[in-house]
Amino acid sequence: MGSRADLASMRQEDAPPPDTKKRLVIIPQFGVADGVVVIAYVAALLVPGGLVGFVGGLRGWTLVASAPLFTYAVSGIAGPLHSAMGIRWSPVSWAVAFVVVVVVVGGLRLVVRRRRGAPEPGPTMPPWSLAAQLAVVAATVVATLVGIVVILGGIRTLGAIPQDWDAVFHANGIRYIATTGDGSLYGMGLINWYEPGAPPIFYPNAYHLLGTVVYELTGATVPTVLNAHTVLIPGLIGLSLVALVRRYGGRPIVAAGAALAVVAVSSVYDLLWRGPLLPFATGVALTPVLVVLVVDMLDAQALRSTLRPALLFALGMAGLLCLHPAILIGAVLFTLPALVQRWWTAPARAPREIGLLVVAGVLAAIACTAQLAGTLSSAGNLAAISWPADLSTSTAVGQVLTFGHGSDTIQLWLTAFLLVGVLTYRRLGSLRWVGFTAAIFAALFVVAAASSAPWAKTITSLWWNDRWRLIALTAVPLCIVVGHGLGELQRLLVTALSRIADAARHRPPEALPSQSPTTQRVLAVATSVVVLLAFVVLTRGLYTARDQARMMQNSGNGPAVSGLEIVGMEEIARIVPPGERVLNDRGDGSTWLYALTGLQPVAGHYDGFRTGPDAGLLAQRFNQYPDDPAVRTAVQQLDIEYVQLDAGFLRSDAARAPGLTGLAGADWLTVVYRNPDVVLYRIDPPGTERTSAESRAGVPAGPLLSDGSG
């Protein structure tokens, strides 16, 4: 279950393997306790939101795929509301929120039914046979398992610490909510931005609220909870694509092929090791579901029939906003081509349907007033981050078409099946709009990757002009085209086999098909299985080894947090009294102190932007403590008695904060704990008798920690 021992025994491979063509699939370490945490997360995602969708009238693939979105919507709305009402966030209060929503939704539906009669039946879609349904279920399960194997194979254990920038913020956020019960939108920021007078930091917290529930229910470590959700994200994307294809009447093989293709794309996993961008990636996974909810609402004819899907659509928008504001904007762009295609063929629909969209949007905005206010208040922060545009336009376009972003190799077979899908694009039918969705995000990706012009940064600023986010959004709709390519090859195979059979029976080509309906169904299922298996084989198991190598790039024994540092932080938690802050270096792994132990560090995140004056002063001049009254005042105001330094730095070019250099041997500091990667000093106030620090504490002398990253 990701115990402390598991954390301390993280793998030793610090550097990722080279991105070469020959790789071996790694079998991850995964025990029964790990499975319990993952299953708990699956239940937390599907059960409460599924109940909301069920009483709201959803069924089938739409119900299952939309359940996580509704779970995040209710959690994200309830958390800040509970905080405003003085109710502690906990699994109990979380469950009560869903009971209230289910009762209200079910009650409204019952009242409408009694007063207005049974609503009109839902939309009709071309039937999938039982065999086809089971085959798509099997493909979705395989896609989910591949995602789990890829991620766990890269990080090796479910309790591994993600070694990048964003992970510590999400981890500390979960620990904060669990410790304080504060589900507000500004509470998590207090771990790093806590000094009086500092502006509050807004961050949507639906991801963290649900993670807190799983953390408290399972008793797992915070990194284990993070990873238990991360391993499910590729499967969630596959499930969303299946629901989208099904809602648009697509063929089962297209749905199955899209689900398998998306868990093969390396760009999907780049959201999960780089950062990792966990709320954003979750929103990407659920974006296709919003299109399904839009179509359900717009297809309803009478006003009475529109009410239910409109409420569900509004709840879906709220879910994306509560996960990440940029995702809701991305979902609007994702959906826009579907609406244009719809209105292009039937322009008379547009006025009524635009009105419905506006009404649903207003309902979502009312439910998420606090989130919208926070988003607007933090909009100015977007300009503070700018990623370099270091690709040429042709290179960027090539990376889109070859699924080769961030790598020296390409995903050739995805490109090949994409080409088949493009060549047979007219047969994609009602799903033809997905190509235009892919084109929108591909264009934004190329702009972010290849242009440093102010206009380019402006139009991509909602995604922090981060091309890694945009290429992932591009890949999702492209995978439907890949699935379509697989479907057309299957169609070609069926036609060829039928002609061979007819030729063997000496039947002319224009004669009626010789196969019975049963034979045709068996042939369709058999050829679909053959094509999908061929796809898996040709892609070397859906590029599992390649994608595992991507996931290795940010986990292991460092660079930021090593096994010895984890052991050291656990010992520090036994030494430092609860409630005291520990002075630490913002650039090393000590920012994980709170998530792992509950002790609050001075620097609770790598981000030093807009932190308070006392924290900034100590980072610059703490080593002048004996002679600088301002430093001593800052130490007193922040209630600091101990100083922790870790050997590992997040970035290879990082250096020790100036105020934390030269502490070794200082006669006003006492070493109270040391291992090769961690040292803990106690501050001796002026006037304390000063003797040899380490001999006085009885701590064996150890190697000095570097003032830099080396």
DSSP string computed for 611-678: --HHHHHHHHHGGGTTT-HHHHHHHHHTTEEEEEEES-BSSTT-B--GGGSS-TT-TTEEEEEEETTE
Q: Is residue 94 part of a domain?
A: yes
- Say if CB 258 and CB 242 are below 8 A apart: yes
> What is the reported pLDDT for 706?
56
Q: Is residue 89 part of a domain?
A: yes
Tell me the C-alpha distance between 285 and 263, whole Å. 11
172: in domain: yes
Tell me the average pLDDT across 282-305.
93
What per-residue confidence (pLDDT) applies to 694?
45
Q: How many CB atoms lie within 10 A of CB 451?
A: 18
d(CA 166, CA 170): 7
Residue 508 has pLDDT above 80, yes or no: no
Residues 6+ apart with CB under 8 A from 510: none
pLDDT at 302: 76
* Single residue among 328, 348, 380 that ends a domain in this structure: 380
Within-domain flag for 568: yes
Alpha-carbon span 282 to 289, nearest angstrom: 12
User: Would 90 be classed as within a structural domain?
Assistant: yes
Q: 546 lies in a domain?
A: no
Q: For the chain, what is the domain count?
A: 2
For 402, list phi and psi in degrees, rounded to 5: -110, 5
Question: Which of the four pLDDT bands, split at 50, 70 and 90, describes residue 17?
Answer: very low
- The strand pair at 640-646 and 669-675 is best described as unpaired
Tens digits of per-residue pLDDT, 451-481?
999 999 999 998 989 999 999 999 999 999 9
Q: What is the DSSP string of 533-591?
A: HHHHHHTHHHHHHHHHHHHGGG-SS-SS--HHHHHHHHHHHHHSPTT-EEE--TTBGGG
Rg (alpha carbons) of the chain, rounded to whole number: 28
Residue 679 belongs to what H/E stretch?
Answer: strand 678-683
> Percent of the chain at pLDDT above 70?
90
Q: Which of 115, 100, 101, 56 is nearest to 307 (CA)?
A: 56
Residue 555 has what pLDDT? 80
User: What pLDDT is attached to residue 128?
Assistant: 93
Answer with the one of 346, 380, 414 that is the final residue of a domain: 380
Q: What is the DSSP string of 297-351?
A: HHH--SHHHHHHHHHHHHHHHHHHHHH-HHHHHHHHHHHHHHHHHHHHH-GGGHH
pLDDT tens digits, residue range 674-685? 999 999 999 997
User: Other C-beta atoms within 10 Å of 592: how many?
Assistant: 29
* Segments forming the whole domain that contains residue 577: 563-697
> 489, 420 in Cβ contact below 8 A?
yes
Whether residue 4 is predicted with pLDDT greater than 70 in this model: the reply is no
What are 383-389's contacts with CB under 8 Å, separation 24+?
Answer: 383/461, 384/609, 385/464, 385/465, 385/466, 386/457, 386/464, 386/465, 387/448, 387/464, 387/465, 387/466, 387/467, 388/452, 389/448, 389/449, 389/450, 389/451, 389/452, 389/456, 389/465
**CA 343/CA 346 separation, integer angstroms:** 5
553-574 pLDDT, tens digit per residue, is: 888 888 889 999 999 999 999 9
Question: How confident is the model at residue 388, as a pLDDT?
Answer: 86
End-to-end CA distance of the chain: 33
Domain boundary residue, one of 363, 380, 397: 380
| Residue 434 in domain | no
Q: What is the pTM of this model?
A: 0.93
Per DSSP, the three-state class of 680 is strand
Task: Give the whole-angstrom CA distance, residue 35 versus residue 228.
Answer: 9
Average pLDDT, the chain: 90
Region 39-66: mean pLDDT is: 97
Cβ atoms < 10 Å from Cβ of 376: 11
Asked whether residue 368 is domain-assigned, the answer is yes
> Where does residue 233 rank: exposed (0-12), middle (13-18), buried (19+ CB within 10 A)?
buried
d(CA 210, CA 33): 20
In the structure encoding, which two tokens stand for residue 75, read together?
Answer: 């959690």
How is residue 281 written in tokens? Answer: 């990636």
Residues of the chain with pLDDT > 90: what percent?
77
* Eight-class DSSP state of 129: P
- Look at residue 669 and tell me whether its pLDDT is greater than 60: yes
Judged against a pLDDT cut of 70, whether residue 606 lies above it is answered with: yes
